[in-house]
A and B are shown apart, each in its own frame.
Chain A
Amino acid sequence: MQYVQTSSGVWEVVIGLEVHAQVISESKLFSSASTKFGVGPNENVSFVDAALPGVLPVANSFCIDQAIKTGLGLNGNINLVSRFDRKNYFYADLPQGYQISQYDHPIISGGYVEIETKDGLKKINLERIHLEQDAGKSMHDQHPTQSYIDLNRSGIALMEIVTKPDMRNAAEVSAFLHQLRSILRYLKTCDGNMDEGSMRADVNVSLHRPEDPFGTRVEIKNVNSIKFMMSAIDFEVNRQVEILESGGIIDQETRLFDAASGKTFVMRSKEDAQDYRYFPEPDLPPLVLQQSRVDAIRATIPELPMAKVRRFQQNFGLSHYDASTIASEAEIANFYEEALAVGSMNVDRDFAKLLANWLVVELFSLLNKEGLSICSGKVSAENFGKLVMLIKTNVISGKIAKEVLAMMWETGKLPADIVKEQGLKQITSTDTIESALREVLAENADKVAEYKSGKDKLFGFFVGQAMKKMQGKANPQVLNDVLKRLLLSE
């Protein structure tokens, strides 16, 4: 949907995002209150968060470090001097009557996120990242005539990540959000949990003729999942096309997405746009950073997902699918590399590929079935690596390996011990396999005759029967080879 083609010509869709990412931090941006999620209403509220008279904000240096780390991870410029400002508006869950934010001197300028599109890699440029405090929460459904306020969220640190209008369709938005989330999780600066509201995004959508300047943009708020984001964009693009095609003009307005109907509704028009009367926060001196602090943080930036995908593909020969699935979460990637270390010092590409396949298919399906994460500890990376190594070295077959994995999952035992205890070691002896096969062929002389008269499919039947005789322990390759030889010589 790069372009929307209609009878009148083409429209290009232009999309930019403002992502609010909650900073991972024990305490709030300007107070020492806890940020713990899921406690009772107003339990994590300090005098500062409740805006008592006389309180003053004190910037939490850990949150500032987290913003710097995010800026570095997203390829931005760290501004050594930035400033906090007051954004003034009245709302019952905004205790100060203003939000402390950063207006014209944000802590990070620029940056980009690389995403994969069907036409290859694309850079989504960032305008800026700034720090600001979150508001509280109003609850209108607790009492018939009163609204309740919960200030637990009030004052929690947010990073507002603002993109340039670089996205052209909903799929790019989805790819951007997935990639951004993945990077933030690698950096451990935001957990990216959209359900708990720790990552939220507003989206700006406009349409224009490719040869014309950008059109009027509409902002959509309150979109709390990537799936809804895509529906909201699709709805909004269609709405704008219809208006433009019928000769109308787009109003600059803010709309809300309603997940139930899949539609967007006007929240406020340009005329009602608030004048936030930003001005420098007089309670806080300018935020001045030493280059050495930035450098020290730079040294802690881990390898990020895109680089990992590339390395996995180039060094290990993984498929793009496997590489990006494994690299999507730092924990999975770490698990994979730890398991890989079971093998030789020089990476054996066959082992690496086999391991990736077993991780993405077999272990994931077990984890998904029980809704567990890779860190659950049910199967350690080392033991998983050892299991796949048993397959690789023909000690057990893949079929047997699935049983062993299931037993590892239940008992936590080492794969080699399970194989030994259960006598699951693969049989590779040609003689043993040949005698089993000879029995099968003797018992099924009629089928052998049918095979010879052209019923090739019976080959599998013989394999199955022989495997059954050998409790599945026969090496499939040897079995195949011997069977072929026997059938030819019959």
Chain B
Amino acid sequence: MHRLSLFDTKKALLERKFSSVELTQCFLERMEKHRDLNAFITVCADEALEAARQSDIKISAGSAGELEGIPLAIKDLFLTKGIRTTAGSKMLHNFVPPYESTVTRKLLDAGAVFLGKANMDEFAMGSANITSYYGRVINPWSCGNKKLVPGGSSGGSAAAVAGHLCVAATASDTGGSIRQPAAFCGLVGLKPTYGRCSRYGMVAFASSLDQAGPIAKTVKDAAIFLRVISGYDPKDSTSAPEPIADFESFAGKSIAGMKIGIPREYSIDGMSNDVSDAWQFGIDIMRNAGAEIVDVSLPHTKHALPTYYIISPAEASANLARYDGVRYGFRAEGAKSLNEMYKKTRQEGFGAEVKRRILVGTYVLSAGYYDAYYLKALKVRELIKKDFADAFGRVDMLLMPTTPHGAFAFGEEPDDPVSMYLNDIFTVTANMAELPGISVPICLDNLHRPLGLQLMAPKFREDLLIQGGYILEQSANFPILDEIEG
């Protein structure tokens, strides 16, 4: 039962094939058995079993919610009332939130069961889940002795879903943190339009880019999940009062006559043959499904990544200023003055990648550099938005690879940060333009590593992503991971 999709699990629970308690128990045992994946920072066994019991009662009573009794992993960036929330950082190693994030509140209201808090890159800064204070996460697709990274920053969420340690997981995406680990782990990752889901109660990384979304086993699962967590929230002034479609109903609709744009700028040097082949495979699927394939240009694409690495650290440098040891979280011992307390706390509480980004962000906002970096980046961001607006004047969706390569092995990760940042090259554009994007697993490369393709649609057109993603998924017939090796 642990290998079932969310859709099938829901059906089985309602048909009483098994109970939520049995299912939850099964996942808790698997989580224990596969602790070496390090997918979870905190396991909430007692709370999960209690929630499952409540769900079973509701299912019996015929008052099941949308996700009643379905065990999920929650990225440790969503505040969960009474359950420690660390954001992968030592800084919050002891932080127990007094309130619930809007996204997890909606999931709880729908009857979901939380198994635990998923590991992640520290403050969501990373592309391989190697910056977590709570250790690396192993990609369940690792084969033999070669351990693969799960991608990041939602590496724990992706590993937990791929390893069948939960049915689905929440994740968040600032520059690709849902889609890239989904691609690396052979899963569906959906980053909604900026404003589709409330950011209230999500530990902020870059406020103008952050967006919550699901990592799931199938496109339909992602659609069901998305509908539950979507919606305007008066507590988040940037959330949008847009109508929420029945996303699930778009899985299975024809795309005949739709125009699918292939942005030529995404054919970059150094892209592996496997990735180009996968892309071509996806193009063929769409064409065979009756879509018209259109060559399009997004001329400012090459500026997206550098721009992203100005805007996101700038916002992060302010967002992370609150971690000062004064009110909650980690406080270094032995400081003799306020300034010393700040220095020691932030020196000891933050990891290297977080400090690097705070420094970069502080630098680009400083007097004398603001115009050259931050202000210019804001202008480039507008040009990127315009590129997409122009493209969507001609096509319904865009299709491109999610990542330039498959998951890399432990020890083979780039050793300089800038090369690591290249992981986000195909994903940051959606965040910069506030667009929705979905990564769908398409095939395995010659090293048996999953590869994903990405669809992007105009703002608030997640319905199109479900429609197109489902076509890709059905034709690709990507294998689900049978069992974790080792």
Contacts and interface: CB of A to CB of B under 8 A. Distances in A.
A45 to B, nearest CB: 10
Interface stretch (B23-31, B198-206, B259-267): B198-206
A89 to B, nearest CB: 9
Contacts of A86: 318
B338 interface: yes
Given A54-B203, A88-B365, A92-B338, A284 B237 contact: yes
B92 A53 contact: yes
A279 B314 contact: yes
A489 B362 CA distance: 100
Contacts of A149: 326-327
B315 A97 contact: no
A282 B208 contact: yes
A11 B362 CA distance: 42
How extensive is the interface on chain A, given as a class?
A: 20 to 34
Interface stretch (B94-102, B248-256, B300-308): B94-102
B431 to A, nearest CB: 12
Given A279-B365, A282-B208, A283-B237, A52 B328 contact: yes
Nearest to B367: A275
B17 interface: no
B321 A96 contact: yes
B324 A90 contact: yes
B207 A53 contact: no
Contact of B327 (A50, A56, A90): A50
Contacts of A58: 234-235, 237
Interface string B216-243: 0000000000000000001111100000
B366 interface: yes
A53 B97 contact: yes
A412 interface: no
Nearest to A45: B327
Please classify the interface of chain A as helix (H, G, I), strand (E, B), loop, or mixed, using the class held by over half of its residues: loop
A285 B318 contact: no
A95 interface: yes
Nearest to A47: B99
A416 B235 CA distance: 60
A366 to B, nearest CB: 50
B217 to A, nearest CB: 28
Interface string A53-82: 111111100000000000000000000000
A86 to B, nearest CB: 5
B237 A285 contact: yes
B258 to A, nearest CB: 32
A98 interface: yes
Given A58-B234, A97-B324, A282 B315 contact: yes
Contact of A53 (B322, B365, B366): B322
A277 interface: yes
Most chain B CB atoms below 10 A, which of A88, A91, A96, A277 = A277
Nearest to B239: A56
Contacts of B208: 282
A149 B317 CA distance: 23
B79 interface: yes
Given A52-B97, A56-B199, A56-B200, A277 B321 contact: no
Interface of B: 78-79, 85, 87, 92, 95, 97-99, 101, 199-204, 206-208, 234-238, 314-315, 317-318, 320-322, 324, 326-328, 338, 342, 362, 365-367, 370, 374
17 contacts: A47-B99, A52-B328, A53-B204, A54-B97, A54-B202, A55-B201, A56-B237, A57-B237, A92-B326, A92-B338, A277-B317, A278-B365, A279-B315, A282-B315, A283-B238, A285-B237, A285-B238
Given A53-B92, A54-B200, 15 more contacts: A47-B98, A52-B79, A52-B98, A54-B101, A56-B200, A57-B237, A59-B237, A90-B321, A96-B322, A97-B322, A277-B317, A279-B374, A282-B238, A283-B238, A285-B238
